Amino acid sequence: MKKLYENIENIHIIGDIEQLSEVVKVMDISLQNIADSSDRLAEYLVKYSESNKGKQYQNVLNTTMLLRDELFDASIQLNDMQNQIVAYQNKVYRYEDMAQSASRPNPYLVTKRRFNADTTAVQFTRSEMQDVIDSLRNYSEMVIQYLQTIDIKRNEIAAVWRDSQYNDFSEFVDEVIRDVVKSVETYEEYIQYLDEKIKELN
């Protein structure tokens, strides 16, 4: 995402700054949850990287590792924007003698995990295939819900944020959504592939 402002006070808002800050805080939490879930998924998939050298699995793993890095960076950027907007809101409230209405920014809670599993000791049998299917499905369903929240809130912001920087912000959201949806489509293809493999084993 492009740096929104050299000075956040240049933002043009219709109405109360709180209308923007509270919505951005919800978006920030949702994106942090997606980033953390993607990191957990990557950690889970890495443990099968030695026992499953199939092209399809490696594609899923590479997709997840790339998405993990992209979402980590994106979530940092959105959290920083949220911090700027909340700080500006609190400055306005102090000026208007409304310090009691000041808000606290969301902390940044996503941490990249270090993967140290013993991948050589892990097998990829039928039960592991089903576990991977379940993990990919659960991840996909969860992140799609978070994406829907982000998209809804992005559209709510359009009603109050009235300068050209909104377009940059909206493009940033679109890019996050595209990246996640594309990854989910890769997972769905692999789920179908594993389903067929399990049927063959049965």
At residue 161, the 3 state secondary structure works out as strand
Query: Which of the pair, 133 or 11, is modelled with greater confidence?
Result: 133
What residues does each domain of the chain span? Answer: 16-98+121-201
Percent of the chain with pLDDT over 70: 94
Using CA atoms, how far residue 138 sits from 109, 122, 131, 154, 184, in Å, is 22, 22, 10, 25, 11
Question: 113 pLDDT exceeds 90?
Answer: no
Question: 119 pLDDT exceeds 90?
Answer: no
The answer to whether the beta carbons of residues 12 and 163 sit under 8 Å apart is: yes
pTM higher than 0.85: yes
Question: 60 pLDDT exceeds 60?
Answer: yes
pLDDT tens digits for range 141-165: 999 999 999 999 999 999 999 988 8
109 — pLDDT class (breaks 50, 70, 90):
very high
Q: Which CATH code of 3.30.70, 3.40.50, 1.20.1260, 1.10.3680 fits the domain covering 16-98+121-201? A: 1.20.1260
Q: How far apart are CA 149 and CA 165, in angstroms?
A: 21
Using CA atoms, how far residue 100 sits from 93, 169, 179, in Å, is 8, 30, 40
Q: How far apart are CA 32 and CA 186, in angstroms?
A: 22
Most confident of 42-51, 116-125, 183-192: 183-192
